[in-house]
Amino acid sequence: MKKIALGLAALATLAITSCSSDDDNNQVFTTNVKAPDTYTFERDGSSTVSFGGQTTRIQMAQEIVSGLKDPSNTEAVLDNMFAHVQGDNDFTDANLNASNKNVRSKIAASTDFYAANTTDANSIKATFDFFIEDQVNTVFPNWLTPASAGVAGQIQQAGGGAIRYVNGKGLEYNQAFAKGVIGALMMDQILNNYLSLSVLDEADNRANNDAGVLDGTNNYTTMEHKWDEAYGYLYGNEVNPAVPVLGADSFLNEYLSRVEEDPDFEGIALDIYNAFKLGRAAIVAKEYGLRDVQAQVIRGKISQIVAVRAIYYLQQGKASLGTDMASAFHALSEAYGFIYSLQFTRKPGTNDPYFTKDEVQQFLDQLMVGNGFWDVSDATLDAISNTIAAEFYFTAAQAGSL
Amino acid sequence: MKKLVYVFAIMLFIVACSKSDDTGGGNTNPDNYNRTAMQTNLADNIIIPRLQNLKFGLETLVDVGNTFTALPNQANLDNLRAIYVSTYKDWQLVEPFNIGQAEVMQYSFKMNVYPTNTADIEANIANGTYDLSAVGNNDAVGFPALDYMLHGVAATDIDILNKYADANYKTYLTDLIAQMNSLTQTVLTDWTTNYRSVFINSTSNTVSSAVNKFINDYIFYFEKALRANKFGIPGGVFSTTPLADKAEAIYNGTISRDLAIIALDNVQNIFNGKATSTSPVGEGFNKYLIELDRQDLATLINNRIDAARQKIQILDADLKTQVETDNTKMTEAYDALQLVVVSFKVDMLQAFNVSVDYVDADGD
């Protein structure tokens, strides 16, 4: 772990210094802004970085996902974890119970996508509510029943592997929920909320940032804080978030590390980290054009994480169908969640996701038709993989390998 | 996590100097090694003879098992246990070859998944009906299930023998051995009648060639079945606390260290293209590396395997006991094996210019 920590920070510097001539060719702006080695920003000797609310929500989401695998939980218990009210005893962690934050209110809640689209936002929240409801009412009662087509229950992976708990179509709701949260909470908040002009430059943010007017008693300007909150949804559960090692949660942070491990996408982790640092340094330097370029870089790269993993799990599922159904269902359930998350991606330079809510629903309908994963065809899995890949600069084969 | 270290290390070069590095392996010698000779040596002198040996052992196990179920007394139990041990050792020599029919049938999943699930075994016995080839029974069959059936179904030998008054126990024991025997026959027959020619002729450097697949299978076996299953998992490397009960052959309780040494010797013999430890070096990864001017790496790998063996030889005969009494020695053995993984998975694959074709399974 320590080695990796050193790795990201040290390499960030090394890569920039050793190839600075190449990098300069791509600079649109002539600027003297230099990103620090690590995500560390100070004013008068004190840190200006803060994203406690993001860390809290990541940790709440972890407990909810664990709770979905405990059949002694009632629907009310899980619903209360999801829509936590300050002071209620919903979590094992007392700090989470004391928090006034919750996960549900930030599902599909970005300014750019949902401020004027409460209809979709409500429908998306209802989908997560349904994952909880049907897990409790359909899967929990059949916890010890062998699963079969049309019958919820348990099914074991080959090689004495993990036991998976699925609905009648082979879907693990806990996976759909967890991978859906990556899009609906983390990615939507980062790409379509905190990195948006409508948030960064809201009201007098720009004038205040120019004049160094701080946010109340805090040591940061509002604009600085908004950028940090975006950072927090990706790195907020790290032991030392300024020097991320990745794999620090079960959500976006984890899957960035997985995509990084695929040689076809090596470098994506450093690209995202560097863009966050440079964008934040640009805010300090009041170079808003440079800031916005970094936001676009982050939008493209983070969208890519979800697309790569959607295809990867579709292909993993395909490889196990027939021989090891439990492994196939597990992979396809992860794919289901990542596909759901595609509607929260953001095409750089536009106000649009790579796939709309309707397009996402069509993919999911193809997966769930009839008996769902029990009889989905290789052709369907390939077709969806190729359709997703076609919107990005990689092939389904690249995303589906390793 | 460890993987990320490499990834970032490699990334340094790629990010910093991507335009100059497109050879992939970083290996300047052209690859003129005779891969067919290596595959032929593997098939004819190592794989097929070992499968034949295992098959012979399992046939003996069938006979001795029938003697025992016909008359479940102490002498017959002792005899059956002895053949179980010798056959389990024969299996260690076969487990790395998860290719051809073995891969298709998920042979190793039906032969050596541990810890075995004793609740599933007892449920199968009680029900009297079961499909031993079902995926869900992977952890209720094979050598670990046999280990339980011969040593773990009761606390004392007298009580174990009493269990076999029940016809369902007899039948389950017989069925376990029969499945192991027939699976092995299927794999062996496929090698001698079909797969041998595929194996020795599919030698191109592509993802799907038999050579590349075997190289990957060999490294995966070392990393997962040997390093992780025998040492890392019971030693708690992947969990917050050690999990002694996840060691191999825990019901027998005296052979897991020797099984591990046999498995490690086997890895080294395959590397050196040797049928046994006393055979001369034959065509194999060692000679392949030398042909690529990587004598240094070939020597390093043998040295690291030797060092790991020394760490294993000082362990308790029962690795479960070792974990419970002094787990540090267990993790030291694991660490020594991990060094071999690095040599195989990073350095040897780069020298061969072969890509890894597997990923660590999801942690969830």
Question: What pTM value is reported for the model?
Answer: 0.82
Which pair of structure tokens corresponds to residue B18? 């991507």
For residues A103 and A208, the answer to whether their CB atoms sit within 8 Å is no
**ipTM of this complex:** 0.73
Amino acid identity for residue B279 in this structure: S
Task: Write the DSSP string, B71-92.
Answer: S--HHHHHHHHHHHHHHHHHHH
Give residue limits of the domains in chain B.
30-203, 204-357
Substitution target in B15, B22, B98 with the highest count of A β-carbons within 10 Å is: B15
Residue B122 neighbours by CB under 8 Å, 6+ apart: none
- Can you name the residues that pair with A154 across neighbouring β-strands? A146, A165
Do B30-203 and B204-357 have matching folds?
A: yes
How far B300 CA lies from chain A's nearest CA (Å)?
24
The topology (CATH level 3) of B204-357 is: A middle domain of Talin 1 (1.20.1420)
| Cβ distance of B15 and A160 shorter than 8 Å | no
- Can you name the residues that pair with A275 across neighbouring β-strands? none
Count how many pairs of residues, chain A against chain B, have C-beta atoms within 8 Å.
88
| Cβ distance of B8 and A11 shorter than 8 Å | yes
Substitution target in A25, A156, A164, A329 with the highest count of B β-carbons within 10 Å is: A156
How far B67 CA lies from chain A's nearest CA (Å)?
30
| Cβ distance of A261 and B359 shorter than 8 Å | yes
- Can you name the residues that pair with A99 across neighbouring β-strands? none
User: Which among A28, A114, A27, A108 is positioned nearest to A351, based on CA atoms?
Assistant: A114
Give the SS3 label for residue A346. coil
Give the CATH superfamily of B30-203: M75 peptidase, HXXE motif (1.20.1420.20)
* Phi, then psi, of A166 in degrees rounded to 5: -125, 160
Among B5, B358, B361, whose Cβ lies nearest the Cβ of A7? B5
Buried b (16+ CB within 10 A) or exposed e, B146-177: bbbbbbbbeeeeeebbebbeeeebbebbeebb
Task: Write the DSSP string, A150-207.
Answer: TB-EEEEPTTT--EEEE-TTS--HHHHHHHHHIIIIIIHHIIIIITSHHHHTSTTHHH
Q: Measure the CA–CA gap between A38 and A276, rounded to whole angstroms.
A: 10
Q: Measure the CA–CA gap between B6 and A369, rounded to whole angstroms.
A: 42
User: Which among A359, A333, A332 is positioned nearest to A345, based on CA atoms?
Assistant: A359
**At A102, which helix (H) or strand (E)?**
none
For residues A190 and A300, the answer to whether their CB atoms sit within 8 Å is no
Which pair of structure tokens corresponds to residue A15? 């890569």
Residue A387 neighbours by CB under 8 Å, 6+ apart: A363
pLDDT string in tens for chain A (402-residue length): 333 443 455 444 444 433 334 444 444 556 789 999 999 999 999 999 999 999 999 999 999 999 999 999 999 999 999 999 999 999 999 999 999 999 999 999 999 999 999 999 999 999 999 999 999 999 999 999 999 999 999 999 999 999 999 999 999 999 999 999 999 999 999 999 999 999 999 999 999 999 999 999 999 999 999 999 999 999 999 999 999 999 999 999 999 999 999 999 999 999 999 999 999 999 999 999 999 999 999 999 999 999 999 999 999 999 999 999 999 999 999 999 999 999 999 999 999 999 999 999 999 999 999 999 999 999 999 999 999 999 999 999 999 986
How far B364 CA lies from chain A's nearest CA (Å)?
8
User: Which among B128, B94, B86, B131 is positioned nearest to B112, based on CA atoms?
Assistant: B94
| Cβ distance of B8 and A325 shorter than 8 Å | no
The tens digit of pLDDT for each residue in B300-344 reads 999 999 999 999 999 999 999 999 999 999 999 999 999 999 999
| Cβ distance of A159 and B138 shorter than 8 Å | yes
* CB contacts, 8 Å: A334 with chain B: 362
Which pair of structure tokens corresponds to residue A371? 């008996």
Q: How many helices (H) and strands (E) does chain B have?
A: 18, 0
Q: Measure the CA–CA gap between A178 and A58, rounded to whole angstroms.
A: 11
B19 Cα distance to chain centroid: 41
| Cβ distance of B5 and A247 shorter than 8 Å | no
Among B1, B11, B139, whose Cβ lies nearest the Cβ of A11? B11
**At A12, which helix (H) or strand (E)?**
helix A2-18
Chain A residues with CB within 8 Å of chain B CB = 1, 3-4, 7-8, 11, 14-15, 18-19, 146, 155-162, 245-247, 250, 257, 260-261, 263, 266-267, 270, 323-326, 330, 334, 402
A14 Cα distance to chain centroid: 28
Which pair of structure tokens corresponds to residue A268? 């994506």
pLDDT at position A21: 40
Residue A114 neighbours by CB under 8 Å, 6+ apart: A108, A120, A121, A188, A192
| Cβ distance of A261 and B8 shorter than 8 Å | no
The tens digit of pLDDT for each residue in A101-156 reads 999 999 999 999 999 999 999 999 999 999 999 999 999 999 999 999 999 999 99
Among B8, B115, B136, whose Cβ lies nearest the Cβ of A7? B8
For residues A330 and A158, the answer to whether their CB atoms sit within 8 Å is no
For residues B328 and B314, the answer to whether their CB atoms sit within 8 Å is no
pLDDT at position A345: 98
User: Which among B122, B126, B179, B177 is positioned nearest to B154, based on CA atoms?
Assistant: B122
Which pair of structure tokens corresponds to residue B299? 């020597």
